[in-house]
Amino acid sequence: MNQWWTDRAIPASRSGLRNALDLMGILDSRQLLMRCYGLSLSDQYWIRPKGTDLSWEKINFFDNPFSEDIGDILFEVKPNHEILNFRSPDSTSDGNLRKRWKIINGKRFLVKGGSEPFFQQPFNEVIASEIMERLGIDHVPYSVTAIQSRPYSLCEDFITSETELIPAWRILQTKKKRNETSAWQHFVVCCAELGIPGVVPFLDRMIVLDYLIANEDRHYNNFGALRNAETLEWIGMAPIYDSGSSLGYNKVTRRISAGEDIECKPFKRHHEEQLKLVLDPGWIDFGSLSDVRELITGVLSSEMAAETIDEERIEAVTASVEGRIRKLRESGAAHFGKPSSLDDDRTDNTAAAYH
Ligand SMILES: Nc1ncnc2c1ncn2[C@@H]1O[C@H](COP(=O)(O)OP(=O)(O)OP(=O)(O)O)[C@@H](O)[C@H]1O
Ligand SMILES: [Mg+2]
């Protein structure tokens, strides 16, 4: 319970957290949890202090408005009143990048930034979601907006007041992994025993996407399953979200072109090895990606991107994606569904660096 509660707080590695806590006069992000009753916009858990008559209907953030104060402070905007209102889902949000929840036209959106020096992640989210749209992969759609002249991605909450997101990380804990079982097999077996439908086709799609965009951070908290929070019935895997740490987001242009040192998660250390886990590639419609050059150059050529992303970088990103599409189309058969070596399995904890 303690571990779960601690994990629910904003991770210590969150960009800008230290300053935000100093501004609030709070020592540790765990202290924020109690003040929002642990409520989140990604699941339905909360605590009710003894002796209060609070009800879920009255306080949940799916149906009720929430304070902007925590989000403002995390975004370095000082609220113009003395006494802060701590009722905010921003106190339970996960991940390293600066982020906040916003209600826009009655809908809940996650607003998420990028990192120095290129601030490329928000654009990558859009490119990844457009690629998934073309390939028919269930995904969270992202768009980009400017805040304080920096790009931020916007995506709508895919959880409702009846559903919850269970990260893959939690699913993995339901069984002990045997040494001779691969990371992929272990995850598939855990899901099968829980009765989560559609897992292998989902993983096929996620692995292919992550190869195409050279995703370097698909750790076990960056995908998961959906469950009905009332009946506890498994709905299936969650639409794909958080694909921004990709397309050479933190590399200099020369290294993007060289295609070197691309990290792979969650199952294998190398994307080529991870591709071997794809059992059915029949759904990949390469023709749908024929406009990928226009797609990527279009997104990365916006006025907002021009601040940190130059033409050479756009060309390097575009050419590397085209190259990987070509490779997959021409030699996919040599990769897919092949026995893969356990030597390349990830044995480290790739749930997240911040655990
Ligand atoms: N659209 C959404 N609806 C509901 N929950 C979401 C949504 N997007 C993200 N989340 C939740 O918020 C968490 C943080 O978001 P996200 O993974 O996008 O941030 P991040 O800072 O990029 O993370 P990381 O540190 O993994 O790079 C996710 O792990 C997930 O639990
Ligand atoms: Mg994440």
Q: Of 350, 344, 204, whose CA–CA distance to 275 is shortest?
A: 204
* Last-in-domain residue among 94, 127, 144: 94
210 in any annotated domain: yes
* Last-in-domain residue among 94, 109, 140: 94
Whether residue 301 sits in one domain with residue 180 = yes
Q: Is 222 in the pocket of ligand 1 (CB under 6 A)?
A: yes
Q: Of 121, 107, 113, 206, whose CA–CA distance to 157 is shortest?
A: 107
Residue 172: band (very low, low, confident or very high) from pLDDT cuts 50, 70, 90: very high
Whether residue 336 sits in one domain with residue 248 = yes
Q: How far apart are CA 349 and CA 196, in angstroms?
A: 23
145 in any annotated domain: no
Share of the chain above pLDDT 90, in %: 92
Looking up residue 244, the CATH number of its domain turns out to be: 1.10.1070.20
Q: Which two tokens stand for residue 30?
A: 């765990």
Question: Which residue puts its alpha carbon closest to atom 23 of ligand 1?
Answer: 95
Whether residue 184 sits in one domain with residue 327 = yes
Given a cut of 90, whether residue 214 has pLDDT beyond it is yes
* Last-in-domain residue among 94, 120, 154: 94
Whether residue 198 sits in one domain with residue 90 = no
Question: What's the domain count of the chain?
Answer: 2
Instruction: Indicate which atom in ligand 1 lies nearest the CA of residue 242.
Output: 18
Whether residue 215 sits in one domain with residue 297 = yes
328 in any annotated domain: yes
| pLDDT digits 0-9 by tens, 127-150 | 999 999 999 999 999 999 999 999
149 in any annotated domain: no
| Distant-in-sequence contacts of 58-66, Cβ < 8 A, 24+ apart | 59/87, 60/161, 61/88, 61/89, 61/101, 61/108, 62/108, 62/157, 62/159, 62/160, 62/161, 63/161, 65/103, 66/101, 66/103
Whether residue 264 sits in one domain with residue 186 = yes
Whether residue 168 sits in one domain with residue 41 = no
Q: How far is the CA of 351 from the centre of ligand 2 (A)?
A: 10
Whether residue 177 sits in one domain with residue 29 = no
In degrees and rounded to multiples of 5, residue 316 shows phi and psi of -65, -45
Q: Are 49 and 56 spatial neighbours (Cβ–Cβ below 8 Å)?
A: no
Whether residue 327 sits in one domain with residue 212 = yes
Whether residue 183 sits in one domain with residue 76 = no
| pLDDT digits 0-9 by tens, 78-127 | 888 889 999 999 999 999 999 999 999 999 999 999 999 999 999 999 99
259 in any annotated domain: yes
Residue 340: band (very low, low, confident or very high) from pLDDT cuts 50, 70, 90: confident
Range of the domain at 195: 163-344
Mean pLDDT score across all residues of the chain: 95
Q: How far is the CA of 137 from the centre of ligand 1 (A)?
A: 18
Q: How far apart are CA 42 and CA 166, in angstroms?
A: 9
**Strand order across the 163-167 sheet:** 163-167, 224-228, 234-237
Q: Is 7 in the pocket of ligand 1 (CB under 6 A)?
A: no
CA distances from 110 to 15, 72, 93, 186 (A): 16, 13, 10, 31
Q: Is 159 in the pocket of ligand 1 (CB under 6 A)?
A: yes
Taking residues 146-175, what's their average pLDDT?
Answer: 96
Q: Cβ–Cβ contacts within 10 Å for residue 78, how many?
A: 9
Whether residue 193 sits in one domain with residue 79 = no
- What is the predicted pLDDT for the residue at 350? 57
Q: How far apart are CA 301 and CA 297, in angstroms?
A: 6
Instruction: Indicate which atom in ligand 1 lies nearest the CA of residue 354.
Output: 25
Q: How far is the CA of 38 from the centre of ligand 2 (A)?
A: 19
Of 110, 206, 218, the one to substitute when testing ligand 1's pocket (max ligand atoms within 8 A of C-beta) is 110
16 in any annotated domain: yes
Locate tokens 């559903």: which residue? 163
Given a cut of 90, whether residue 349 has pLDDT beyond it is no
What angle do the packed helices 121-135 and 199-212 form, to 10 degrees? 130
Whether residue 311 sits in one domain with residue 184 = yes
CA distances from 244 to 142, 216, 249, 270 (A): 10, 9, 8, 18
- What is the predicted pLDDT for the residue at 351? 56
140 in any annotated domain: no
Between 189 and 343, where is the model more confident? 189
Q: How far apart are CA 239 and CA 216, in angstroms?
A: 18
Q: How far is the CA of 333 from the centre of ligand 2 (A)?
A: 31
34 in any annotated domain: yes
Given a cut of 50, whether residue 169 has pLDDT beyond it is yes
Q: Is 69 in the pocket of ligand 1 (CB under 6 A)?
A: no
Q: How far apart are CA 340 and CA 252, in angstroms?
A: 31
Given a cut of 90, whether residue 355 has pLDDT beyond it is no
